[in-house]
């Protein structure tokens, strides 16, 4: 048995790629839920962003147009969720579920109408998708023992959105814990009445949080279709939005913990793609179906509370009604 094979550089490299959309969606949910707005609709926003980014990238040949389209589609659904749950004080969970159903149906319907390929988009060619970036000195460092391969194979060679996702972690931490906006946003999720008494708009802050959530979900969906894969297929998010929510609970609504939680989920997805490594490490064959189910099994375990008590923001899920 060779347990070190479970941490082969190729597996860790795949982990980085697969964890990226989870990380972006997890941070998206973090902003929204810290402001008191639960968002089950992460899945739907990612799916809509994946379709429109792939569709516009295929039509225009520009991945940046596709990225903008994906963010725009996600922001539209975020606005719908904001109107339903903030302005009209509707049930936030029902609004999120409705967005998921809406995105699942509309993406396939529009894809079939535009491209007549069974709900898919055309395969994206060079220029229509994000290409890997070779970081400076990667080739020169590749021969350096231990650290060289890590830099050349694990850190270098990802698309730009992978690095954007990683930079979003310290960025989220700084915004939430080192800025006045972040302090107010967290306060809105804990005690919106106190924020309102201080003369700060609760509705404005919550819409801002939902908007940031939409941007990050848009980037996550665009990465799925134009970075991780080369086009859109039906239901390509495959539950990643719900996994991101589980990772958010696992991380207890903290940015740095969210990074490690999503890397764990990404790792489980990565080893599911390499059953040969699992067999070599454990000494016996494991069913591929069980490996594929590991991220979802962990999701259920986390949501069932087996990883410790996670206390959400106190005002989470509750519409704010201003006292007269």
pLDDT for residue 1: 58
- For 179-227, write each residue's pLDDT tens digit: 999 999 999 999 999 999 888 999 999 999 999 999 999 999 999 999 9
Percentage of the chain beyond pLDDT 90 is: 66
pLDDT recorded at residue 34: 94
φ, ψ of residue 211 to 5 degrees: the values are -65, -45
Q: Quick one: pLDDT at residue 315?
A: 84
Q: Which two tokens stand for residue 225?
A: 């279709």
Cα(64)–Cα(58) distance, integer angstroms? 11
| CA–CA distances in Å: residue 183 to residues 11, 34, 177, 206, 211 | 38, 10, 6, 13, 17
Predicted local confidence at residue 147, as pLDDT: 83
CA dihedral 203, 206, 210, 213 (to 10 degrees): 160
* 221, 46 Cβ separation under 8 angstroms: yes
Query: What per-residue confidence (pLDDT) applies to 324?
Result: 58
pLDDT recorded at residue 13: 92
DSSP string across 87-125: IS---HHHHHHHHHHHHHHHHHHHHHHHH-SSS--PPP-
At residue 188, the pLDDT reads 94
- Segments of the chain with pLDDT less than 50: none
pLDDT in tens, 133-164: 988 888 877 778 878 888 888 899 999 999 99
Q: What pLDDT is attached to residue 125?
A: 85
CA distances from 272 to 24, 244, 248, 288, 294 (A): 21, 18, 22, 7, 8
Output the pLDDT for position 9: 86
Phi and psi of 317, rounded to 5°? 85, 0
| CA pair distance 53, 85, nearest whole angstrom | 26
- State the chain's mean pLDDT as an integer: 90
Q: What is the pLDDT, as a whole number, of residue 73?
A: 97
C-alpha distances out from residue 90 to 173, 188, 320, Å: 30, 18, 11
| Helical axes 255-272 vs 160-178, angle rounded to 10° | 150
Residue 156 DSSP symbol: S
Whether 13 and 228 have beta carbons less than 8 Å apart is answered as no
Q: Per the structure block, which two tokens stand in for 134?
A: 């070779």
């Amino acid at each position: 048995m060779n347990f070190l094979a479970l941490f082969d550089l190729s597996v860790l490299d795949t982990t980085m790629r697969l964890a990226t959309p989870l990380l972006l969606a997890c941070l998206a949910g973090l902003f929204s839920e810290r402001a008191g707005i639960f968002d089950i609709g992460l899945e739907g926003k990612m799916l809509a962003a994946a379709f429109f980014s792939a569709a516009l990238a295929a039509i225009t040949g520009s991945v940046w147009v596709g990225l903008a389209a994906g963010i725009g589609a996600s922001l539209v659904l975020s606005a719908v969720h904001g109107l339903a749950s903030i302005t009209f004080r509707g049930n936030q969970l029902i609004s999120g579920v409705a967005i998921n159903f809406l995105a699942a149906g509309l993406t396939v319907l529009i894809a079939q109408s535009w491209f007549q390929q069974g709900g898919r988009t055309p395969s994206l060619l060079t220029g229509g998708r994000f290409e890997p970036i070779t970081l400076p000195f990667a080739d020169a460092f590749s021969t350096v023992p231990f650290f060289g391969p890590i830099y050349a194979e694990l850190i270098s060679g990802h698309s730009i959105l992978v690095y954007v996702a990683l930079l979003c972690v310290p960025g989220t931490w700084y915004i939430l814990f080192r800025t006045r906006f972040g302090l107010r946003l967290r306060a809105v999720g804990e005690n919106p009445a106190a924020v309102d008494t201080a003369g700060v708009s609760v509705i404005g802050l919550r819409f801002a949080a939902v908007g940031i959530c939409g941007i990050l979900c848009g980037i996550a969906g665009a990465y799925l279709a134009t970075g991780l894969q080369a086009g859109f297929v039906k239901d390509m998010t495959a539950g990643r939005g719900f996994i991101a929510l589980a990772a958010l609970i696992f991380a207890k609504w903290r940015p740095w913990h969210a990074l490690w939680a999503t890397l764990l989920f990404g790792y489980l997805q990565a080893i599911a793609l390499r059953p040969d490594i699992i067999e070599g490490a454990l000494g016996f064959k494991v069913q591929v179906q069980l490996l594929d189910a590991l991220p979802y099994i962990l999701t259920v375990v986390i949501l069932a509370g087996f990883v410790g008590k996670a206390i959400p923001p106190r005002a989470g899920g509750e519409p704010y009604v201003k006292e007269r």
